[in-house]
Amino acid sequence: MAPHGNPEAPASAASEINREAPKVAATTNESTTTKPASGPAVTSHGATEETPWSLWEVFVRSSRGLSHVHAGSLHAPDAAMALRNARDLYTRRNEGVSIWVVPAEAISSSDPDSKGSFFESPQGKDYRHATYYTKSEGVKHL
Amino acid sequence: MTNTNDTDFAIDGHGDISVGVHGAGASGDGSASATRITPGNALRPEDIALEIQRGQVKPTEDVAEFALRIGDDGLILAQRLGYWISRAPELEEDIALGNIALDQLGHARSFLTYAGAAWGKSEDDLAYFRREHEFRSAHLFEQPNGDFAATIARQFIVSFYQYQLYTQLMESTDATIAAISAKAVKEVDYHRDHSAQWVLRLAGGTDESRARIIQGFKLVWPYVEELFEDDELTTRLAAAGVTVQPSSLRTEFDRLTGDIMAEAELEIPGVPQSLGGGRRGKHSEFLGYILAEMQVLAREHPGASW
């Protein structure tokens, strides 16, 4: 297979270039202005009229049959560029055959402070594991 | 990069860098391990050097001269683009331009390795120990980076030209030229996409970005004509089926770039065309400075390695 996870055939003919991709808008791009996730690190350009690129989470499938796994994040002005940046940042060493990018703000995550109530409950409940049970005599295919 | 030692490269399967295993399963194909990351199998300059060393391939004088032209195009562009490392507008774009530069360098290494076989020279001999008038790159490739928009404008022309060229070269009667081009075409296909995306965004962005991409195209468009000039060498090679006449690539180039330009609501700049002459070793004032920077280490410390 081709390096960089490219398709076998020179596929992305000019006609396939994503024309739907929103151009970097002279007016405001909603996804960049309403984004709380990126924080001060991204806005460190200083200039107030500069809207920072929004944050995207990248998931890479390393091989057919495996799941997409979170690889990291990046900044991009829109989804089309996020995919391309992900290809350039996270599949340089033949790591992937497929990429997903997701706007970081679209991800809801569990609260780190609720670790106790969220994740400690299953601890000690060994009866939830198959190994807790002894195999009944004469049962086949176990 | 040197082929003076006797290292025997494993020509079938490059091994698995993660665990040092050679051979079966160490490629990016269907039989590969699902969890290990491998470099994958592709034609590398080292493989070409090995074939040369074994006497399996040797270009004719004409083919070598032609390989020198397109190899030099890639080499000079790679050197130009390398300047952007740590200087691009965003980290992500920094790496994108770096990747493109490395792709171009890879093509250059393959073509120069092959060209060198005609004269008993290595890729390094050709890259570091030729003088300005011995380089055969077209003027477009040595043009200054300018701002980001000018670099994108140059990339846009280069990648659409190279895509047309390499697509045709895949059918070359010279097997090595065809094989290098088959590898390169997938990479320049991505370069096309990258530059087209940016042309659309810069043109459709702010007044500032639009003014800059218009100015960028104005700066580089004079060097388009030279890419499509036929001469005696290309006429001979076209007759032999090694390549096609550069002029025959122009229609598709105009159509495909025209589509994107129209989409971006940009006009082809009505600027006079430069005289060219890069293919004959006549270069603009910029090439000498590029070579000084590129060659100084190898010339100060011949045979240096690290």
Contact call for residues B149 and B209 (beta carbons, < 8 A): yes
Q: Strands, DSSP E only, in chain B?
A: none
Residue A141's pLDDT band (boundaries 50, 70, 90)?
confident
Residue type, B112: L
Q: Alpha-carbon distance B36 to B19, whole Å?
A: 9
Rounded average pLDDT over A126-135: 89
Q: What is the 3-state secondary structure (H, E, C) of chain A?
A: CCHHHCCCCCCCCHHHCCCCCCCCCCCCCHHHHCCCCCHHHHHHHCCCCCCCCEEEEEEEECCCCCCEEEEEEEEECCHHHHHHHHHHHHCCCCCCCEEEEEEHHHCCCCCHHHHHHHHHCCCCCHHHCHHHCCCCCCCCCC
Residue of A nearest to B200 (CA): A23
Nearest to B210 by CA among B152, B271, B295: B152
Residue A52's pLDDT band (boundaries 50, 70, 90)?
confident
Residue of B nearest to A78 (CA): B201
Over the stretch A19-35, which tens digit does the pLDDT of each residue have? 454 444 444 444 444 33
Nearest to B72 by CA among B151, B170, B139, B3: B139
Over the stretch B226-275, which tens digit does the pLDDT of each residue have? 999 999 999 999 999 999 999 999 999 999 999 999 999 999 999 999 99
B206/A24 CB distance under 8 A: yes
Please check whether residue A84 touches B, CB under 8 A: yes
Q: What pLDDT score was predicted for residue B304?
A: 85
Give the closest-approach CA distance of A44 to chain B in angstroms.
12
Give the closest-approach CA distance of A142 to chain B in angstroms.
27
Over the stretch B136-173, which tens digit does the pLDDT of each residue have? 999 999 999 999 999 999 999 999 999 999 999 999 99
| Residue in the block written with tokens 């670790």 | A115
B186/A66 CB distance under 8 A: no
Q: Other CB atoms closer than 10 Å to residue A73's CB: what's the count?
A: 18
Indicate the helix (H) or strand (E) that contains B240: none
Q: Alpha-carbon distance A5 to B294, whole Å?
A: 31
Of B87 and A51, the structure prediction assigns the larger pLDDT to B87
- Which of B192, B201, B256 is nearest residue A23 as measured by Cβ atoms? B201
Contact call for residues B144 and B286 (beta carbons, < 8 A): yes
Q: Which residues of B touch A (CB under 8 A)?
A: 28-30, 32-35, 37-40, 42, 90-93, 95-96, 99, 160, 163, 167, 185-187, 189-190, 192-194, 196-197, 200-207, 209, 256, 259-260, 263
- ipTM of the modeled complex: 0.77
Q: What pLDDT score was predicted for residue A12?
A: 46
B96/A95 CB distance under 8 A: no
Q: What pLDDT score was predicted for residue A39?
A: 39
Q: Is B276 left (phi over 0), alpha (psi -120 to 50) or beta?
A: left
| Residue in the block written with tokens 């569990």 | A110
Q: What is the mean pLDDT of chain B?
A: 90
- Which of B29, B190, B206 is nearest residue A6 as measured by Cβ atoms? B190
Q: What pLDDT score was predicted for residue B66?
A: 98
